[in-house]
Every structure is written in structure tokens, then in C-alpha cells.
Amino acid sequence: MNAIAFNTLDARPFVLDRLPAANDAGVRMHYGRDEEIFGEGEASRHVYKVISGAVRTYRVLSDGRRQIVEFHTTGDVFGLDGDRSHALSAEAVRETTLQVVRRDAFLQEQGAEPAIQALLKTFHRAQAHMLLLGRHTACERVAAFLLDFRERAGGVDAIDLPMSRQDIADYLGLTIETVSRTFTQLQAAHQIDLVSCRRVILRNPAALERIRE
Amino acid sequence: MNAIAFNTLDARPFVLDRLPAANDAGVRMHYGRDEEIFGEGEASRHVYKVISGAVRTYRVLSDGRRQIVEFHTTGDVFGLDGDRSHALSAEAVRETTLQVVRRDAFLQEQGAEPAIQALLKTFHRAQAHMLLLGRHTACERVAAFLLDFRERAGGVDAIDLPMSRQDIADYLGLTIETVSRTFTQLQAAHQIDLVSCRRVILRNPAALERIRE
DNA sequence: CGCAGTATTGACTGGGATCAAGGAGCGTGG
DNA sequence: CCACGCTCCTTGATCCCAGTCAATACTGCG
């Protein structure tokens, strides 16, 4: 009853709350492109692990600017933003499958060791991203972004970006035009190859690392 | 013996490692202005709680730019940056007393609940700071900074900043000149009063909140 | 084919960085 | 007590990177 009363806008948490409590391993959920996973201000009852696909967590400021806080890809855990309620919103960047577990179960399982490890990892990512946003040029940000996704792809030099230019811009604290221009520059410098706008080949990762610092 | 071999540059960890293991509540340490608490790359064996004073955690980039990741004041816990070794350096902003506990003891105590809470708090601060650095004007950053320290001071409108303009600049991702100019602007707009360069009175916190958004 | 959404490119603007000079605070020593 | 030197802060002038505005090109899809 509670779940119905507090979730009239969204059927998903309702479904989850009805799951047998014994099922601590959680449940798999599927989301389509741009589908909302949770919204800022919603009660924070679950933790999510990416099985496949990609997720963006973000915040929209009062003037409409959007800051993407993090992209989560296969294996990443997210949803621990905020205390009792979410400080961020989360959406699927593309077709995405998630493992969803109850937040309290996740934080308490097995001496909380997995929870702490996941939290530490997310925290360290956030710190790294903060350092990037501090005082870096557009070129440094884009280079760091590409190298990050190269690493996530297992070190392969051909990357398929799941997200749009707008997503990248909002993640790096730049405009879509600046991101586009920077890609073009890097291509002109023979450091990347833009096969299509979503498919990038890193021609010279070492040079990108030098740019990133 | 281990402790001596691996800490010839710094006597402090040596001292800590020699403490009886039974003393899980930790030990108090005192640091003078600008004194290093730990350095980037050092083994990450302890967690710190601020008893009094203020601490900055930061990273110096290869070109000399410094990004201050966070200021820690009374009650804050820090030192969980990095996994086995510190990703950041930490220094006392001014005379500071810390409670120092062993990292493993801290992460395992009482079902790890306090550790998770401390970690979540630091994480949420990092997220908030990231949002600030994303795409905000100098004015918005400074306003947010002042309101943050107002809150830390318990909501009093007269704030004594423990740190220099350079520290503030490196924290907000601005230059010292821009920080100074912004303070001057806010004073001209009667929103703050600069009694001295370290002592600020917030004349109109509501206006600052509007600037911050 | 035409349409809509997305990406690229160009011209111009502006906020903050940079370079440079001057002022304020403060401890030290005569 | 003041003079001196040092550090930190403030102010001014100019420059440049990225934002803004605008037009064009690309892409996928009905």
C-alpha cells in the first residue's frame, strides 16, 4: 500500500517493492534509450549494477543547463548518490539491462565489503572527474574522455561511443560545438579517426595521454 | 622494522605503526600551518577525522596547476582517496588537530556502518563540488563557496575563512585575481562585507543563494 | 523523397586568464 | 615606535579560449 501511495508517477519502484524480500540478489530490469531509471528527489531505495548498456547520472540546474556527473558502463554500480533520496537523476543512454538490489540489503551484505568497494570506486571516479572539470582546456577534457572510454573498452583503440555529442558536452562541462570542434582538431592532428560520429579510432593514444597530462 | 624501512622520509607513519594494535580508537596528531599530512602516492594506511582546524586535499598537475579537491573542517573524515595509495595530498590549512585511525580498523568496525556513512558524506560533497566546477560562472562559484562555509560555521553570517585567496582559487577552479575581483563585486553589490581579507560578513545570504541557484 | 534530429563549421562575443603594477597587513629588528 | 621587507591581496589593461548565434551538412527513418 505504501509503495502505491508514494509512487503513483512511476510503476517501477512499486514492482520492486512487491518482490519477495528473500530475493536479496535482486532482479534484472531492462530500459530503453533515454528511459528514466530514477529521478532527482525520488526515494533512494535501490542500488543498480550495469549488466549491459550505459547509464548517465545527471542534474539539471535551474537555468536548464545539465551536468552529467558520470557515465556508468558494464560492471559499474550506481544509485548511491544522495542519502535517503536521490541527488541525481539516471537515464539509460541506450538499451540497457540492470541488476537492481535493495539499498539496505546491498549496504549490509557480507560485512558490507562489496558495498564499500563499489562506493570507493564510484567515489574515486567522481574525484577524477572533478579534477578534470577544474581547470582543463577543451582538448585536455576530450582527450581524457576518450582515454577513459578506451580503458572501459578493455584498451582497444576502436571505440564505439554510446552517447551523443550533447551528452559528452554536458559531461565535460563544454558546449556541443566545442566538443565537435575538438574532435575535428584531433582528427586533423592525426590523433583520432572519426569513422562515424559515434565510432572513434585512437590513432595515437600516447599523444592523447600527453595532452591529458 | 618494516615501518622504518618504508618511511625514512617521514617519521609520522612510523610512530603510528608502533602504536599498540589494540588502540582502535586511534591517536591524536597535531599539525602546523601548511604541514603535510600525507602525500600523493603514499601508502594509504590511515583515515583522519578533523578535531579542530582545517585541511585541504589536493593534486598538483604536471604543469604546476593545483586543484584543491576538498576542504575538511571540524568533524569531517578524509583519507579514503585512492585505494592502496593516496590519490591526493593533504595539508593542514592552519593549526590542526586530527584523530588518526588505521584504515582497515576503520573500514571494518561495527559492521562498517560509520565507515559507509563517512564515505557517503565525502562522496556527496565531491559530487556537489563537481557540479559546481562544471559550468558555473566565477560569481556562482564564489557564492556557493561562501554559503558552504556559512553552513559549516553553523549558519552564522560572519565567517572566518581559514584559507588564502590562492587556496580558494585552486578550490573553485579560478585564478586568485578572479576570486579577488568577485569578492570586490559582491561587496559593491552590498551582498557581503570584507572586514578583513579573511573575515567576511554575509549581508544578504538570500541573494547569494539566488546567485548560486 | 522529405522530414526531423543530430553534427559540423563559421563569425563574432565575452568572461576569465594573463601580465603587470600598486596597496595592505604583519612580523622583525633597529 | 617606526622603517623595512616580505607575503598576500587588490586593481588595471589586454588577450584568448570557449560560448553564442547562425547556417549548413549529415544521418536515419517513415
pLDDT for B67-125, tens place per residue? 999 999 999 999 999 889 999 999 999 999 999 999 988 887 656 677 888 889 999 99
Q: Does any CB of chain B come closer than 8 Å to the CB of residue A119?
A: yes
Looking at residue B6, its pLDDT comes to 33
Closest residue in B to A137 (Cα–Cα) = B173
Alpha helices in chain A (DSSP H): 2-6, 11-17, 103-108, 113-134, 138-152, 165-172, 176-188, 205-212
> Among candidates A137, A154, A138, A33, which has minimal Cα distance to A94?
A33
Residue B93 phi, psi dihedral angles, 5° rounding? -75, -40
Q: Does any CB of chain A come closer than 8 Å to the CB of residue B133?
A: yes
C-alpha angle B92-B89-B198 in degrees, rounded to nearest 5: 35
Looking at residue B116, its pLDDT comes to 85
**For residue A9, pLDDT beyond 80:** no
Dihedral sign, Cα of residue A206, residue A212, residue A213, residue B6: negative
Cα first-last separation, chain A: 54
Cβ contacts of B112 on chain A, cutoff 8 Å: 111-113, 115-116
Average pLDDT score over chain A: 88
Residue A205 phi, psi dihedral angles, 5° rounding? -60, -35
CA gap B78, B50 in Å, rounded: 8
> Among candidates B130, B52, B53, B116, which has minimal Cα distance to B80?
B116
- Say whether B67 and A131 touch across the interface (CB within 8 A): yes
CA gap B25, B23 in Å, rounded: 5
Closest residue in A to B63 (Cα–Cα) = A213
What is the CA A34 to C1' C26 distance in angstroms? 59
Q: Are A88 and A59 in contact (CB under 8 A)?
A: yes
Residue A14 phi, psi dihedral angles, 5° rounding? -55, -50
What is the CA A197 to C1' D27 distance in angstroms? 10
What's at B77, amino acid-wise?
V
Helix then strand then coil, in percent of chain B rounded to 5, is 40, 25, 35
Q: What confidence tier does A105 reach under pLDDT thresholds 50, 70, 90?
A: confident
Q: What confidence tier does A110 reach under pLDDT thresholds 50, 70, 90?
A: low
Q: Are A203 and A191 in contact (CB under 8 A)?
A: yes
Nucleotide nearest to A183 (CA to C1'): C8
- Say whether B69 and A107 touch across the interface (CB within 8 A): no
Q: Are B25 and B50 in contact (CB under 8 A)?
A: no
- How many percent of chain A have pLDDT more than 70? 87
CA gap B95, B103 in Å, rounded: 23
CA gap B212, B147 in Å, rounded: 9
Looking at residue A24, its pLDDT comes to 63
Query: Please, which positions of strand C sit below 7 A from a protein CB?
Result: 6-11, 15-20, 25-26
Q: What confidence tier does A126 reach under pLDDT thresholds 50, 70, 90?
A: very high
Q: Does any CB of chain A come closer than 8 Å to the CB of residue B83?
A: yes
Q: Is the pTM of this model over 0.85?
A: yes
For an interface test with B, the pick among A70, A133, A209 (most B C-beta atoms closer than 10 Å) comes out as A133
Looking at residue A91, its pLDDT comes to 97
Q: Does any CB of chain B come closer than 8 Å to the CB of residue A88?
A: yes
CA gap A198, B1 in Å, rounded: 55
Q: Are A193 and A204 in contact (CB under 8 A)?
A: no
Q: Low-confidence residues of chain B, pLDDT below 50?
A: 1-15, 17-22
- How many percent of chain B have pLDDT more than 70? 87
